[in-house]
Amino acid sequence: MPCDLVHAEIHALLTDGATVVATFEGHKHEGNGEGDQDKNKNKDKDKDKDKNKDKGGQDGRNARILDPKVRPNPLNPSTLVSFTMAREGRVRVMVYDMHGRLVKTLLDDYRAAGEQKLMWDGSNARNMKVSSGVYFFRIQAPEGEVVKRVAVVK
Instruction: For residues 94 and 89, give the distance between their C-alpha atoms in angstroms, rounded to a whole number.
Output: 16
> For residue 105, which phi and psi values (nearest 5 degrees)?
-100, 115
List, in order of start, the domains of the chain with CATH numbers.
Answer: 3-152 (2.60.40.4070)
Question: Could you report the per-residue pLDDT of 32-67, keeping only the tens digit for each?
Answer: 444 434 444 444 443 333 333 333 333 333 344 567
CB atoms within 10 A of CB 130: 18
pLDDT score at 11: 53
The mean pLDDT of 113-136, rounded to a whole number, is 95
Q: Are strands 89-97 and 102-111 parallel, antiparallel or unpaired?
A: antiparallel
Report pTM: 0.59
Identify the CA nearest to 150 among candidates 91, 86, 103, 84.
103
| Higher pLDDT, residue 62 or 128 | 128
Q: How confident is the model at residue 69 (pLDDT cuts 50, 70, 90)?
A: confident
> For residue 131, which phi and psi values (nearest 5 degrees)?
-75, 160
The mean pLDDT of 89-111, rounded to a whole number, is 96
pLDDT score at 65: 52
pLDDT score at 6: 53
Cis peptide before 74, with omega less than 30 degrees from 0? yes
Angle at 55 between CA 51 and CA 57, to 5 degrees: 70
The mean pLDDT of 87-98, rounded to a whole number, is 95
